[in-house]
Amino acid sequence: MKPIYPLNIKNEFVFNPSPRDFTVEEIPLYDFTGEGEHLVLKVRKKEMTTWGMLDAISTHLGIRRRDIGYAGLKDKHAMTIQYISLPAKLEEKLSAFSHDKIKILDTFRHNNKIRVGHLKGNRFEIRLKKVLGVQKEKLDSVLKWIKANGVPNYFGNQRFGTNGNNWEEGKKLLEGTLKMRDKKTREFLMGSYQSYLFNKWLAKRMELNLLLEKFTESETEQVMGLPEGSLKGVKKQPSFYKLLEGDLMMHYPYGRLFEVEDLTTEAERFAAKDIAPTGLIPGSKTKRASGLAGYFEQMFDEEMKLFGARRYAWVQVTEIKKKYIEERAHYELSFVLPKGSYATNVLDVLRGEPL
């Protein structure tokens, strides 16, 4: 019998995102060549955003921030290690750089500037505190489930600001009821609204998955107001996340997009971690799902003059390692996620929080 999604396992622990308890290390997309007109820096920062780090380095070098290449943005409330690139002619000037929150760990020559998205993924190291008695056994059990199944790929809270309402301003910008001159802020807020719509869609699909764990296909159809027989055969799929007619899949962890043709076959490939389902980031020039999958997508699809995209709805958590320090009640955990995925999704499943 396959394990039930562990929402019924409530875990209590303390996690404070801080450089002492939270480390993120970028995994480069490729090896650096050792030659070329670009200098790649392996940089460690703490208690500052990637933008803040880029500003500090660019100010010291007397260049524009956009002249520095980076692969992704890293959390402010963590010790983070990432790779950036800049013109190699600045290497001598860089030698005088000093900052109390930034350390350059290594340098490499490379032929190309690092671009956004040029990373395989990120390695996370997290310390959970006040893990007492039976909680350790519960965490072990849920981690085993995560290793076998994966986690939902929600956008993290970082996308929505301190109060979680950045998406509201993004919506107003798209509707034209709010004006803003700063291009980067405007794009970030509108992207927050796209992320909000994706998360709402994924929550609806998670609701479907959870109902199918507890009820029959026909009962789930009635609860969700779906056409009779539309879920026939879906419940028996081996994975917790159920594929639907018309879903758009991608090879995993990257690859081409294609539509589900045979649910049984594609469900087996998904269980084997060869492919994964995708969800819609609404916008132009991106493909939409059809059939029953399209019905769920249409609830959270809006026309907007922004490029849309497809995003994995479900991701795998790899290289999981754990260590329990009983005398301190600390549970130390490390794992790897693909690029664009958030450690908070792993923590939410560990807590057994509703999704």
Instruction: Assess contact for 12 and 53: CB atoms under 8 A.
Output: no
Q: Distance (Å, rounded) from C-alpha 332 to C-alpha 281?
A: 34
Strands 22-28 and 38-46, by their bridges, are unpaired
As given in the structure block, the two tokens for residue 257 are: 């997009």
Give the H or E element holding residue 169.
Answer: helix 166-175
Question: Do 303 and 159 reside in the same domain of the chain?
Answer: yes
1 domain-assigned: no
In terms of domains, do 146 and 211 share one? no
Residues 21, 75, 247, 348: which is the catalytic one? 75
Under 8 Å between Cβ of 226 and 296: no
The pLDDT tens digits along the chain (355 residues) read 344 556 566 778 999 889 999 999 999 998 999 999 999 999 999 999 999 999 999 999 999 999 999 999 898 999 999 999 999 999 999 999 999 999 999 999 999 999 998 899 999 999 999 999 889 999 999 999 999 999 999 998 888 877 888 999 999 999 989 998 888 888 889 999 999 999 999 999 999 999 999 999 999 999 999 999 999 999 999 999 999 999 999 999 888 999 999 999 999 999 999 999 999 999 999 999 999 999 999 999 998 989 999 999 999 999 999 999 999 999 999 999 999 999 999 999 999 875 5
Q: Please give the pLDDT value at position 354.
A: 58
CATH number, domain of 112, equals 3.30.2350.20
Regarding whether 210 and 251 lie in a shared domain, the answer is yes
Summarised one tens digit per residue, pLDDT across range 64-89 is 999 999 999 898 999 999 999 999 99
Strand partners for 80: 24, 45
DSSP for residue 113: -
- If DSSP codes are grouped into helix, strand and coil, which group holds residue 58? helix
CATH code: domain of residue 309 = 3.30.2340.10
pTM to 2 decimal places: 0.90
φ, ψ dihedrals at 280, nearest 5°:
-90, 130
106 is catalytic: no
* 184 and 301, same domain (yes or no): yes
- Average pLDDT score over the chain: 93
Per-residue CA distances from 151 to 148, 333, 339, 350 (Å): 10, 16, 14, 10
Task: State which H helix or E strand residue 18 sits in.
Answer: none
For the chain, what is the domain count? 3
Helix (H) / strand (E) element for 40: namely: strand 38-46
Q: Which pair of structure tokens corresponds to residue 346?
A: 């792993």
Instruction: Examine the domain organization and report whether 273 and 140 are in the same domain.
Output: no
Query: In the listed set 103, 120, 137, which residue is the last one of a domain according to the structure?
Result: 120
Mark whether 309 and 344 lie in a shared domain. no
Whether residues 240 and 299 share a domain: the answer is: yes
* Domain annotation covers residue 143: yes
Residues 73 and 28 in one domain: yes
| Range(s) of the domain holding residue 72 | 22-120
Q: Are residues 213 and 344 in the same domain?
A: no
Q: Answer positive or negative: Cα dihedral of 322, 123, 166, 204.
A: negative
Backbone φ, ψ for residue 121 (5° rounding):
175, -160
Neighbours of 157 (CB within 10 A): 11
pLDDT of residue 1: 31
Question: What pLDDT score was predicted for residue 5?
Answer: 59
Give the end of a domain, one of 72, 103, 120. 120
**CA dist 105 → 46, 81, 83, 196 (Å):** 13, 9, 10, 36
State which of 120, 141, 165 marks the end of a domain: 120
- The answer to the question of residue 289 being in a domain is yes
Residues 307 and 245 in one domain: yes
Question: Per the structure block, which two tokens stand in for 15?
Answer: 């996690």
- Are the C-beta atoms of residues 44 and 23 closer than 8 Å to each other? no
Q: Which residues of 278-307 are buried (b: 16+ CB within 10 A; e: fewer)?
A: bbbbbbeeeeebeebbbbbbeebbeebebe
Residues 161 and 269 placed together within one structural domain of the fold? yes
Together in a domain, 171 and 86: no
User: Tell me, what's the pLDDT at 8?
Assistant: 60
